[in-house]
A and B are shown apart, each in its own frame.
Chain A
Amino acid sequence: MASTAVGQSVTRVDAVAKVTGQAKYTGDFIFRDMLVGKVLRSPYAHAIVKNIDASQARALPGVEGILTYKDVPRNKFPTAGHPYSLDPAHGDKADCTILTEKARFVGDAVAAVIARDELTAAEALKLIKVEYEVLEPLLTPEAAMREGAPLIHEDCPGNILSASGYDIGDIEGAFKEADYIFEDELETSIVQHCQLENHISCAYVDSDGRIVIITSTQIPHIIRRIVGQALGIPWGRIRVIKPCVGGGFGSKQDACLEPLVAAMTLAVGGRPVKLELSREECMIATRTRHAFKFKIKTGVSRDGRLIGMHIKAIANTGAYASHGHSIAMAGGSKFRILYPMQALKYEPCTVYTNLPVAGAMRGYGSPQITFAVESHLDNIASKLHIDPIEFRLKNLVKEGYVDPLNGNAVRSCGIRECIARGKELIKWDEKKARYKNQAGSRRRGLGMACFSYGSGTYPVGLEIGGARIVLNQDGSVQLQVGATEIGQGSDTVFAQMVAEVLGIPVDMVHVISTQDTDISPFDTGAYASRQTYITGMAVARAAAEVKEKILDFAWGMTDIPAHALDIKGANIVYKHSGEVVMPLAEVALHTYYDTVFAKPITSDTSNNARVNAFVFGVTFAEVEVDLKTGRIDVLEIYNVHDSGRIINHQLAAAQVHGGVGMGIGYALSEQLLFDEKTGRPLNNNLLDYKLPTIMDIPAIGVDFVETFEPTSPFGCKALGEPPIIPVAPAIRNAVFDATGVALDRLPMNPQRVFEKFKEAGLI
């Protein structure tokens, strides 16, 4: 079937609103009598709140309310943006309270102020006197796991949040069978999402006594449930509205502000309260990416086959669980499909520390483990004197492979074609030959890395998507989804899907971009790169249902059987010849106003997708390394992805650009730093935290190997998160190629690289 809409680079449906300043974000909802909420944060990484004296703050004119842990519900609740689990054993870790009586990181929310304006609120914060009993801060997993270390959460012995892994095959037997054994240790650092819009929520109580929360979130339906749990009230008493979101990258797949802002409005009789974090707060008091330490041991045969791999990982999850109990496992599960081997043992351990809370961030554990494994593979290839690409090709997964643990099958796999394309784009062979015998202080090198990832979370998580379509009098439609547009372009691709199925132009599909839990279909939201694939199934079903109803109605009007009809170019046509029978608009008008048969056409569909689709891809990078300064410049970089059929090439390429840009920052410059003794943040602002600027990012080459994924009605698979995954190891491997120095830690900033070069005797 020739596509009219799917596969086209259709302009974003929200482009004009965003380029003219009309797009409304949470902070743009300004109520006449809106109050301002602010949070008093702990200056200590680990401390018990002994006493809070807020009397002076309370007396300050303009202060409308002061909250401490004593004034808000003390229910423990989980914050992770996962679907609710009917099985308590599978539920998220509930270790948060709205305000805490024990500070677990510098920045933990100890008290809150509601005041008439920002200045008064800030002034009131200064007047609250808190007496702390300071405890020993546990700032590394090693310190937290030490015998006799104080407990960060009393119910969590050893400060270990989670230690579930897997064991495929007989690892010791595999090591015996292997001709060579290789071992490496690699490490990643804490980074932050730095989406341009800081976390912000506002809340009020409506005339029915329900709490309305307007919030910058990726997961409105989940937020409703979590606020209900936190406040201990029925979930239906909460209404969550998600307007435009200024980026999330996982940090808004979490209930960071909403329970507190709901408590704030309740404290002031339901008046609207805005809670907007500053950039400095946002960088420490929302979520970060887990730092990991890996120990990898791998057995390889003489001819370069991977026999067995044993990975031990320690993840630093910070002060609260957030997504910590699932990230190490998610990364370990999604990577393992890439190189099937007879034995694979994964032993992750996720540990609480007194640092900011690590949670979901683009790739959800995969960038970390992929950095480790793909760097390790290049180390092995070098020791075996095998070309790193040849080494991978010997071991890569093939179509038909089924994951032995979760049963997910590889039904489409373009990884080999991705590698071939990337190799060609960067002129691998030619440059490899050219850079063979370099001398001097500036050296060039080539590197690559592969990844595998999933489309959604099945079978670990529920993958439900909802779509509702209403046919208007003129043949255009409204599309409502519970899936959220956060900048990635999901609304646009959904519009394309509807246009494709209904045979109408994309501009006749009006996507309702705002999610409102009172109105929008149920969908768990934007995470796990799930929406185009998972929600796309619901959208396709809803559109097919509308089409069926339209053709049935046309049958009634024309006596031409529905099965002989189709819709093309917004006309009802004969399926066999394409001859126009009547305009779609004429049918649509009759569905509203026919005096006998009027019945406006709608569909309201939910799809529980009990499938998953693996995606694959590569980064190829060329770097120039300055041995004297440790500076690494990325000269060329290409990402080639198998994300199935591409629905919108322009938007897809844009996702890759963003992921690669973020990956370059992860590789070379970004790291949240903390005082080693106190745990105080040192660079929680956009100047000292080295986010890549336009000067730091080279031209990014993008290509797609378009396989067709049979489980998607459009052949598509995940794309949102994956582009970041292989970037850091590809750059690292390029530096290894250029210098022979096997860097083992992110970020590879000049200071760290310089020290490594010194150690290696290069300087």
Chain B
Amino acid sequence: MLKKISFTVNDTPVTLEVEAGETLLEVLRNRLGYTGVKKGCGVGECGACTVLIDGTPVDSCIYLAVWAEGKKIVTIEGIARNGELSRVQKAFVEEGAIQCGFCTPGYVLTATAMVESGKKYTREEIKRELAGHLCRCTGYQNILRAVEKALNDQAQGGGSCASYR
């Protein structure tokens, strides 16, 4: 059964017909070409497919596309603007938090939401926020460092300007 839905992806309005069973991951990757959204397990265990839905990190592999009606979706492709990396992305690059890169988009989006929230996090709280993401390359060391750095940069930079802008 097809259903017509409208939402925005990285501020671009999209209207299309989706099957009731199609996931947001499938629609973003296969139909809209947002291949930065990765599929690592398909059942919400690894976090590689994370996107922001109205600012909240969500596993797009277990989020039906029909639920996206009227939502504001941000994928990894929408984080850097005009070739300028966001502070989260810069922190990942500087801290060497990237290896195979397959989990990276998901982490960057969750970290972006954390930075956006304007909250202060202890190291344990950061770990808890990131615990929905799996990484097999890094032992999580540099990812943790990068997210801490992005949060610190945010605190020092002041304000809560949209960091992915």
Q: What residues of chain A have their CB less than 8 Å away from a CB belonging to chain B? A: 9, 11-12, 14-25, 27-28, 30, 119, 193-198, 244-247, 249, 278-279, 486-489, 650-651, 653-654, 657-662, 664, 685-687, 691, 693-695, 697, 699-700
Q: What residues of chain B have their CB less than 8 Å away from a CB belonging to chain A? A: 21, 29-30, 33-43, 45-46, 48, 75-77, 79-80, 85, 89, 92-94, 96, 98-105, 108, 127-128, 130-131, 133-144
Tell me which of A11, A24, A654 contacts B99 (CB under 8 A): A654
Tell me which of A278, A487, A686 contacts B101 (CB under 8 A): A487
B35 near A18 (CB under 8 angstroms)?
Answer: no
A193 near B136 (CB under 8 angstroms)?
Answer: yes
A657 near B138 (CB under 8 angstroms)?
Answer: yes
Check A196/B46 contact, CB under 8 A, given A27-B35, A489-B99.
Answer: yes
B131 near A695 (CB under 8 angstroms)?
Answer: yes
Please, how many angstroms separate the alpha-carbon atoms of A661 and B140 in the complex? 8
A687 near B102 (CB under 8 angstroms)?
Answer: no
B89 near A657 (CB under 8 angstroms)?
Answer: no
A23 near B96 (CB under 8 angstroms)?
Answer: no
A693 near B134 (CB under 8 angstroms)?
Answer: yes
Tell me which of B34, B96, B100, B142 contacts A245 (CB under 8 A): B100
B36 near A20 (CB under 8 angstroms)?
Answer: yes
Q: How far is the CB of A618 from chain B (nearest CB, A)?
A: 17
Q: Which residues of A contact B37 (CB under 8 A)?
A: 21
Task: Tell me if B's interface is mostly helix, strand, loop or mixed.
Answer: loop
Please, how many angstroms separate the alpha-carbon atoms of A11 and B89 in the complex? 13
B93 near A21 (CB under 8 angstroms)?
Answer: no
Q: Which residues of A contact B39 (CB under 8 A)?
A: 27, 198
A657 near B139 (CB under 8 angstroms)?
Answer: yes
Q: How far is the CB of A596 from chain B (nearest CB, A)?
A: 42
Please, how many angstroms separate the alpha-carbon atoms of A247 and B98 in the complex? 12
Q: Which residues of B contact A650 (CB under 8 A)?
A: 96
Please, how many angstroms separate the alpha-carbon atoms of A278 and B45 in the complex? 12
A279 near B40 (CB under 8 angstroms)?
Answer: yes
Q: How far is the CB of B4 from chain A (nearest CB, A)?
A: 20
Q: Which residue of A lies closest to B40 (CB)?
A: A196
Q: Which residues of B contact A691 (CB under 8 A)?
A: 134, 136
Q: Which residue of B lies closest to A702 (CB)?
A: B141
Q: Which residues of B contact A246 (CB under 8 A)?
A: 38, 40, 100-102
Most buried by B among A119, A657, A661, A694: A694
Tell me which of B30, B45, B131, B136 contacts A662 (CB under 8 A): B136
Please, how many angstroms separate the alpha-carbon atoms of A30 and B100 in the complex? 20
Check A686/B45 contact, CB under 8 A, given A196-B38, A654-B96.
Answer: yes
Q: How far is the CB of A495 from chain B (nearest CB, A)?
A: 15
Q: Which residues of B contact A653 (CB under 8 A)?
A: 96
Q: Which residues of A contact B79 (CB under 8 A)?
A: 20-21
Q: Which residue of A lies closest to B79 (CB)?
A: A20
Please, how many angstroms separate the alpha-carbon atoms of A654 and B138 in the complex? 6
Check A685/B131 contact, CB under 8 A, given A12-B96, A19-B104.
Answer: no
Check A660/B101 contact, CB under 8 A, given A16-B85, A691-B134.
Answer: no
Q: Which residues of B contact A11 (CB under 8 A)?
A: 93-94, 96
Tell me which of A19, A23, A193, A660 contacts B93 (CB under 8 A): A19
Q: Which residues of A contact B130 (CB under 8 A)?
A: 694
Tell me which of A18, A487, A694, A700 contacts B127 (CB under 8 A): A694
Please, how many angstroms separate the alpha-carbon atoms of A691 and B139 in the complex? 11
Q: How far is the CB of A289 from chain B (nearest CB, A)?
A: 13
Q: How far is the CB of A282 from chain B (nearest CB, A)?
A: 9
26 contacts between A and B (CB under 8 A): A11-B96, A12-B93, A14-B101, A15-B98, A20-B79, A21-B34, A21-B77, A25-B35, A27-B35, A30-B29, A30-B30, A30-B35, A196-B134, A196-B135, A246-B101, A247-B136, A249-B136, A279-B42, A279-B43, A486-B100, A487-B99, A487-B137, A654-B96, A660-B139, A661-B138, A687-B43
Q: Which residue of B lies closest to A9 (CB)?
A: B96
Please, how many angstroms separate the alpha-carbon atoms of A414 and B75 in the complex? 47
Q: Which residues of B contact A16 (CB under 8 A)?
A: 85, 93
A197 near B40 (CB under 8 angstroms)?
Answer: yes
Most buried by B among A20, A119, A650: A20
Which are the 3 A-B pairs with shortest beta-carbon distances?
Answer: A21-B36, A661-B139, A487-B100
Q: Which residues of B contact A661 (CB under 8 A)?
A: 136, 138-141
Q: Which residues of B contact A24 (CB under 8 A)?
A: 35
Q: Which residue of A lies closest to B130 (CB)?
A: A694
Most buried by A among B46, B89, B131, B135: B135
Q: Which residues of A contact B30 (CB under 8 A)?
A: 30
Please, how many angstroms separate the alpha-carbon atoms of A133 and B136 in the complex? 40
Q: Which residue of B lies closest to A685 (CB)?
A: B45
Q: Which residues of A contact B127 (CB under 8 A)?
A: 694-695
B100 near A693 (CB under 8 angstroms)?
Answer: no
Q: How far is the CB of B37 from chain A (nearest CB, A)?
A: 8
Q: How far is the CB of B1 from chain A (nearest CB, A)?
A: 13
Check A22/B100 contact, CB under 8 A, given A694-B144, A697-B139.
Answer: no
Q: Which residues of A contact B141 (CB under 8 A)?
A: 654, 657, 661, 697, 699-700
A18 near B104 (CB under 8 angstroms)?
Answer: yes
Most buried by A among B75, B77, B98, B105: B98
A195 near B136 (CB under 8 angstroms)?
Answer: yes
B98 near A30 (CB under 8 angstroms)?
Answer: no
Please, how many angstroms separate the alpha-carbon atoms of A22 and B137 in the complex? 19
Q: Which residues of B contact A488 (CB under 8 A)?
A: 99
Q: Which residues of A contact B143 (CB under 8 A)?
A: 694
Q: Which residue of B lies closest to A723 (CB)?
A: B139
Please, how many angstroms separate the alpha-carbon atoms of A700 and B96 in the complex? 15
Q: How far is the CB of B129 from chain A (nearest CB, A)?
A: 9
B85 near A19 (CB under 8 angstroms)?
Answer: yes
Q: Which residue of A lies closest to B129 (CB)?
A: A694
Q: How far is the CB of A272 from chain B (nearest CB, A)?
A: 14
Check A20/B140 contact, CB under 8 A, given A196-B38, A196-B46, A487-B99.
Answer: no
Tell me which of B41, B48, B76, B144 contacts A685 (CB under 8 A): B41
Tell me which of A30, A247, A651 contacts B96 (CB under 8 A): A651
